[in-house]
Amino acid sequence: MDFSLTAEQDAFRQSVAAFVAREVMPAARDLDERGEFPWALFRRCADLGYLGLRYPEAVGGSGADTLSFNLMCEELAYGSASLAAIVAMQCLMGTDFVYRFGTNDHKQRLLTPALRGEKIGTIAMTEPDFGSDLGGIQARAVREGDGWVLTGRKMWITSATVADFFTVAAKTDPDAGFKGIDMFLVERGMPGLTVGRRIEKMGVRAAETSEVVLEGVHVPAENLLGQQGTGFRNLGAILAEVRTMTGALGLGLGRAALDASMKYARERIQFGRPIAQFQAISHKLAEMATQLEAARWLVYQSAWRIDQGRADMKLASMAKLFASEMANKLADEATRIFGSYGFAMEYEAQRYYRDARFLLYGGGTAEILRTVIAKEMGL
């Protein structure tokens, strides 16, 4: 079995890595400290074609494969988890429903400009009291005249402060559980839509996150994205991609933590020699490298299977679970190798530690993922 990247994939990875080294890494600390949407870098990602990577040329994308998309996510996360999270939202969850179920008008006015970085999309599912229990959401969509009226509150919505359009999950049938969930396109400026308070976070600080309030928002009938009663099923169609992508973010962040630890361990002198020469430290680094490599092949295999038309929810869940836990373990070990300097804001170890926590929640918590994996195993 050949697990190597194609020449095209490898060249693409190197081009993204070069961009990250040249433009993202020098700005990463400032992005974290300011905690503001990185407009300049976001537009650079658009100019480089990253935002439309997974979409066909017909709508302004480049038609790349899933593995290439995940390579991009990995490399961006190596430089800045904040930027990577923003780009991933724009490329996948924030625009996918409009691509699959939007009208030609939606695609021309919103999707294609979004792939050029001219508009920003996001998805609004989580609520103040419902996250993992998506079937329990309280947002409602009631049919009225020639459209729908949406009411509810959403929480933890990435890029909501700057978004031009939202894919909103709401119940069209409150008694139908998951089968009663549908997705609706809501545009900024529609009466009744309010972007509420911004949530201050410990990590991925430049990926602005807010609550969204819908108070009797009227949307036309064509803004129902998909057939009524199929919203949750349609979400499931991209869930393997979402989990694989989150795993790729973990790969980039984990690799950054390992590389920083290796560099520091070679430079830090104690007892007359670099600490990398002490077995206690070298064994930590060896274990970190092993965990990273194991996570890489779970993520890459999941992406490859999606490209083959054989998306595997068990494998995608394993990839997200293992890679996110790996990133947190490596970030933690980095702060230990740095010692007291791992606690100092002047070194990047603390940022990796803070940013890694973000990966534990998006795409399913570890507890939910273990439940999914066990179910897929027939347990």
| pLDDT exceeds cutoff 80 at 111 | yes
| pLDDT exceeds cutoff 80 at 354 | yes
**Residues whose CB is less than 8 angstroms from the CB of residue 308 and which lie 6 or more positions away in sequence, other chains included:** none
Rounded to an integer, what distance in angstroms lies between the CA atom of residue 271 and that of residue 56? Answer: 58
Inter-CA distances, 282 with 257, 265, 275, 321, 329, Å: 15, 9, 8, 26, 16
Burial 206-229 (b: 16+ CB within 10 A, else e): bbbbbbbbbeebbbeeebbbbeee
- The two tokens of residue 339 are 């010692």
Residue-averaged pLDDT of the chain: 96
For the chain, what percent of residues have pLDDT higher than 90? 94
Reduced 3-state DSSP string for the chain: CCCCCCHHHHHHHHHHHHHHHHHHHHHHHHHHHHCCCCHHHHHHHHHCCCCCCCCCHHHCCCCCCHHHHHHHHHHHHHHCHHHHHHHHHHHCCCCHHHHHHCCHHHHHHHHHHHHCCCCCEEEECCECCECCCHHHCCCEEEEECCEEEEEEEEEEEECCCCCCEEEEEEECCCCCHHHHEEEEEEECCCCCEEEEEECCCCCCCCCCEEEEEEEEEEEEHHHECCCCCCHHHHHHHHHHHHHHHHHHHHHHHHHHHHHHHHHHHHHCEECCEEHHHCHHHHHHHHHHHHHHHHHHHHHHHHHHHHHCCCCCHHHHHHHHHHHHHHHHHHHHHHHHHCHHHHHCCCCCHHHHHHHHHHHHCCCCCHHHHHHHHHHHCCC
Q: What is the mean pLDDT of residues 115-127?
A: 96
Q: Which fold is adopted by the domain 232-376?
A: Butyryl-CoA Dehydrogenase, subunit A; domain 3 (1.20.140)
pTM: 0.96
92-101, 168-177, 327-336: the lowest-pLDDT one: 168-177
Task: Given CATH 1.10.540.10, say whether it is the number of domain 7-115.
Answer: yes
Q: What is the mean pLDDT of residues 248-267?
A: 98
**pLDDT bracket for residue 336 (50, 70, 90):** very high
Q: Name the residue with tokens 């969850």.
A: 93
Per-residue pLDDT of 140-151, as tens digits, reads: 999 999 999 999
Task: Given CATH 2.60.40.10, say whether it is the number of domain 121-227.
Answer: no
Per-residue confidence (pLDDT) for residue 137, from 0 to 100? 92
- CATH 1.10.540.10 in the chain is located at 7-115
Q: What is the mean pLDDT of residues 48-66?
A: 96
| pLDDT exceeds cutoff 70 at 212 | yes
| pLDDT exceeds cutoff 90 at 348 | yes
Q: What is the mean pLDDT of residues 323-345?
A: 97
